[in-house]
Each structure stands twice: as C-alpha cells, then as structure tokens.
Amino acid sequence: MRILGIETSCDETAAAIVEDGVRLLANVVASQTEIHARYGGIVPELASRQHVRQIGPTAEAAVEGAGGGWDAVSAVAVTHGPGLAGSLIVGVNAAKGLAASLGVPLVGVNHLEGHIYASWVHAGDGGALPAPAPEFPLMCLVVSGGHTDLIQMRGHCSYRRVGRTRDDAAGEAFDKTARVLGLGFPGGPAIQRAAVGAPRTDPLPRAWLADTDDFSFSGLKTALLRRAREEGVYPPPPGGADPVRVSALARAFQEAAVDVIAAKTIAAAERHGCRGILVGGGVAASQHLREELERRTAMPLTFPPTGLSTDNGAMIAACAFYRLRAGDRAGWDLDVLPGLRLG
C-alpha cells in the first residue's frame, strides 16, 4: 500500500510517498521560509500563491523519487485542516485531481493527527523505528507554530484532548520572541542557536495554570518584550543590540517555555494514566525540550525522526494508512476545515 501524502496547510508545499504506513520512500518539501522571512512571519496570500506554483512539481518529484511511477500509488492523502484556508484549498484540490485521475481512494487527514503519526515513519530507507513502537494509552504533545495541545491517544485514530493553549501557541511565542530579539524567522531554531553557551540572566515568569492541563504563553511573551525594552535590546539601538544580552534573553525565554511544557506534559501523562509520551510538531525539534523531558521522566518518550517534526507529507501519508485501515475514505466533496481540532 503506497500512499502519496500532500501537505499545504501553512508555508511548506510538501509531498511524500510512504509504504504500509511506515516505510518512507520519498519526501519532498518545497520550503517558503525565505519568502516569508522578509516579513518576520507567514503572509497567507503569498503562501497560497506559492503553493499553486509548487504543488505540481513537488508531487511529481515525490512519485519519481519513490520509483514505480504513478501506477504504484494506491491512495492519495491530503491535509484538509487545520491551517490557512487559502493554503489548504490548493492541496485538497490537487489531491482530488490526482486521486480522480488515478482512480484511487482519497483520504482527508487532520494536520494534528499527522504530526502524531510522523513518529510511526521509519527513519531512512526502510530502516527500523528509532525506538520501539509506542504503547497506548499515550499522552501526545502536539506543539507547533499554530498549536499546543495535549491529546490522550487511546489507540490508533482514537483521541481525547485534555489540554490546549489558551492564547499563543508555543511555536508562535518562539517566533515572536525571535522577532523582538532580531534573530530571524523561524524563531525556534534561531533561539536554540542563540541560547547555546549564553550566560544565565534573571528568569522569566512561568504561567503554570495549576489544576488544568492548559497552557498560556502570552504572559511570557509580554515579559520578554518588557525585559528586552529595559535592557536596550528592543527596539534595536543604532549599531545593533548587544549580542550577549540577546543570547541571555533567548536562553531565559527557551528555559521558561520548555520548563512549563515539559512539566505539564509529564504531569498530564501521569494524571491520565498514560504509558508513554509522544511529541509532535515543529517545536518537537527543540533539543532543550527533548533533554528536559528525558531528564525529568522515566516514561518512554517518542519523537519524530529527524526532519519529520516540521510540516511534511510523510506524516500525512502515514496517518492515512491507519485511517484507510479503519475504513475512512473521503468523498469528492472533501472540504477544507481551517479550524479543525483533534479529540
């Protein structure tokens, strides 16, 4: 069963071929980072136009990379939400056209569920999973530029959301903070680099929201902005901000955000009787988050293979394998659902 997975929910035009839900045969991501970097964030109109340009060549490159041609494709899967409406529409229509012309099933995939299934994709060409397959029930932390959700996964395709951010997503806070510190976009990797070897400074506040599994990051973002102003980092003075102060604030921000994410995820996993923790979404690439989770819990931890944390088509194809197995198949009226949630 070879599934072509298409992902255009945000700013990456991505397509991949995954065999039997696990073997990655080809993975192509046409990134728009450079286009949006200039604006310090994603410009939806530019994103959808770029998807229109890239979707054809990207899908073709994935099929070519996997070998076997279009005839070997047994289903087409596509993200239909959540995400930017104009971006989702491009992927969904391309997927409909391909599935119809190939005469194969169409599967609509929830982007958040895709982030979870990135961890079932074997790294490399048919190699083993980086860790044994996770056991249910799992506490899934889906943490990206648009979401920070804690979702209990009771089995394949079975979810219950137990917590979410009440304001900004964690990745969004990383991106906004990087902008204030003049570190560029996307913010997560830039803050991670700046924090390496940075001096310690006064800690930033943590929003614990006791007695709930919800998160809040807007207070941290505001506190960082205030400190950046007080320390003459923002707005940047003529000649630029002091790089030592910038890196110290990047470290303090990363420590505060990760402290809360790690502690609350572990607490939720324990409270809801989970046997392991799975992390998915762009922020799963955070080295500091991984280290803190490893340091604080003995529970089995699952992270996506390198390169599959941020948006890609492989996670959509992997998820679609389990969806199809459960009898899920989309009609030709499959629509985009920009506000779709999971669990």
Q: In the bound complex, what is the minimum distance in angstroms from residue 5's beta carbon to ligand KG4?
A: 15
CA distance 339 to 82: 5
Q: In the bound complex, what is the minimum distance in angstroms from residue 169's beta carbon to ligand KG4?
A: 7
Over the window 86 to 125, marking each residue x when it contacts Zn ion by CB under 5 A and - when it does not, the resulting string is: ----------------------------------------
Q: By C-beta, is 47 or 73 nearer to Zn ion?
A: 47
DSSP class of residue 133 equals P
Candidates 299, 266, 306, 300; CA nearest to 284 is 306
Q: By C-beta, is 55 or 181 nearer to Zn ion?
A: 55
Name the binder of 304 from Zn ion, ligand KG4, none, CB < 5-8 A by kind: none
8 binds ligand KG4 (CB under 6 A): no
Q: By C-beta, is 104 or 142 nearer to Zn ion?
A: 142
Q: By C-beta, is 262 or 284 nearer to Zn ion?
A: 284
Q: CA angle, corner 249, sides to 218 and 172, nearest 5?
A: 35
How many CA atoms are closer than 13 Å to the CA of 28, on its beta-carbon side?
Answer: 21
Q: By C-beta, is 99 or 194 nearer to ligand KG4?
A: 194
Q: CB within 8 A of 94, min separation 6: which ones?
A: 6, 8, 55, 56, 59, 78
Structure tokens at 313: 């088509």
Segment 288 to 327, residues that bind Zn ion, using CB under 5 A: 311
Residue 173 burial by CB count (10 A; 0-12/13-18/19+): exposed, middle or buried?
A: buried
Give me the count of residues in the chain: 343
Q: In the bound complex, what is the minimum distance in angstroms from residue 262's beta carbon to ligand KG4?
A: 13
171 binds ligand KG4 (CB under 6 A): yes
Q: Which stretch binds ligand KG4 (CB under 6 A): 124-132, 188-196, 210-218, 263-271?
A: 188-196
Give CA separation, 233 vs 61, 194, 248, in Å: 44, 14, 11
Contact predicate 338/91, CB 8 Å = no
Contact predicate 80/334, CB 8 Å = yes
144 binds Zn ion (CB under 5 A): yes
* Contact pick of 283, 314, 324, 342 for ligand KG4 (by CB under 6 A): 283
Q: Using CB under 6 A as the criterion, which residues of the chain lie in contact with ligand KG4 when the complex forms?
A: 10, 144-146, 171, 174-175, 186-189, 192, 281-283, 285-286, 310-311
